[in-house]
Amino acid sequence: MTTLQPGDVLDHYRIEAVIAHTSMSVLYKAVDEKTGRMVAIKVPHEELETDPVLFERFKREEEIGQQLDHPGIVKTFNSEERSRLYLVMEWVNGRLLRTILNEEKKLPIGRATKIAIHILNALDYMHKRGIVHRDLKPENVMVDSHDNIKIIDFGIAMKEDARRLTFVNLSSTLGTPDYISPEQVEGHRGDQRSDIYSLGIMFYEMLTGRVPFIEPNPLAAMNERLQHDPKPPRELNPDIAPALEEILFRALERNPRHRYANAHEMVWDLEHQDQVGVVDRGERQPYEGKRGGIPRKAILYASLALVPLALFILMLVLARQ
């Protein structure tokens, strides 16, 4: 099936515009001719509908979306008899957080904190229902004119008690390189603490104008977070208070056991920064960006850490052939 065009009708939805293309689907703005309401329609590429793994993943996204009813999460409407596979979601007014960051680079501390709290409240609701997003990034957060947010795109979300979806018995665990948690880099499924890590990366970017780990390629960027801690954000933005920096460090702990256990804990600290104790982190190994000389031991550890990722990519390529 070719891409739908404005004016085309899919069942009782009239296509208004093509919004975005991804590797798996096309997103449209449409009008429900039965109700008159504006909706977003996500249609998978036709060739993917015959792939049983991707078909099940798409159906799981629909199932997860229908279980969530929160003002900070895009609403997915119930299934009905349809001529083909697609998702129908509420139309969200606003701009992507990515668009805002591209334009403004870094945000005022108060505004960044407000947006982070809104995202965390939505995560808290989601996590309490056993659902992990696993691909949290500025491209998946819509922000309206009052800085209210909606988390979108549950394409690789999972229920914590669900069985794995696999390619040749290998789980698809990766999110987006700049925002992926260390445990996902190592091949683990990730849990609610993985979402908190991704939120920490986003918050760091909102406050400093850059992500913590900048490398010439995605594999190097993912590997750096296994070996190093982020550069202290106060060195990039001295207006950040020590307590707020401490909150960022706790969200970005490499070991998930040392991170915030849940989103509610992080919200509490953000709302009570005067009660946050600042830890002496003198022994941390902060990331300094591209370095001139790297010790052999570090190269060895980096090579070992990349092994599961390389195996994943190799098996994924083989599975798709």
pLDDT at 287: 63
Determine which of 67-81, 192-206, 279-293 has the lowest per-residue pLDDT on average.
Answer: 279-293
**Average pLDDT of the residues of the chain:** 84
Whole-angstrom Cα distance, residue 245 to residue 241?
6
Task: For 315, list phi and psi in degrees, rounded to 5.
Answer: -70, -30
Predicted TM-score (pTM) of this structure: 0.83
Smallest CA-to-CA distance from 232 within 282, 276, 184 is with 282
pLDDT band of residue 216 (cuts 50, 70, 90) is confident
178 strand-pairing partners: none
Task: For 101, list phi and psi in degrees, rounded to 5.
Answer: -70, -35
Reading the block at residue 7, the tokens are 């004016």
Residues tagged active-site = 135
Residue with tokens 């830890």: 279
| Domains, in order of start, for the chain | 9-90 (3.30.200.20), 95-320 (1.10.510.10)
Determine which of 53-57, 135-139, 260-264 has the lowest per-residue pLDDT on average.
Answer: 53-57
Task: Name the amino acid, one letter, at 250.
Answer: R
Whole-angstrom Cα distance, residue 131 to residue 61?
11
Mutual orientation of helices 242-251 and 192-208 as an angle, nearest 10°? 140
Whole-angstrom Cα distance, residue 212 to residue 215?
10
Task: For 177, list phi and psi in degrees, rounded to 5.
Answer: -50, -45
pLDDT at 174: 55
229 strand-pairing partners: 286
Percentages helix, strand, coil for the chain (3-state, rounded to 5) are 45, 15, 40
pLDDT at 73: 96
- Read off the pLDDT of residues 266-320 as tens digits, 9 standing for 90 and up: 999 999 999 999 888 766 666 666 444 344 444 444 444 555 555 556 455 444 5
Of residues 44 and 170, more confidence is placed in 44
Reading the block at residue 157, the tokens are 């979300």
Alpha-carbon dihedral 111, 139, 192, 108, rounded to 10 degrees: -10
Instruction: For residue 266, give the H/E element and its range.
Output: helix 263-271
pLDDT at 108: 97
Instruction: For residue 15, give the H/E element and its range.
Output: strand 13-21
CA distances from 2 to 31, 89, 107, 213, 253 (A): 20, 21, 40, 39, 45
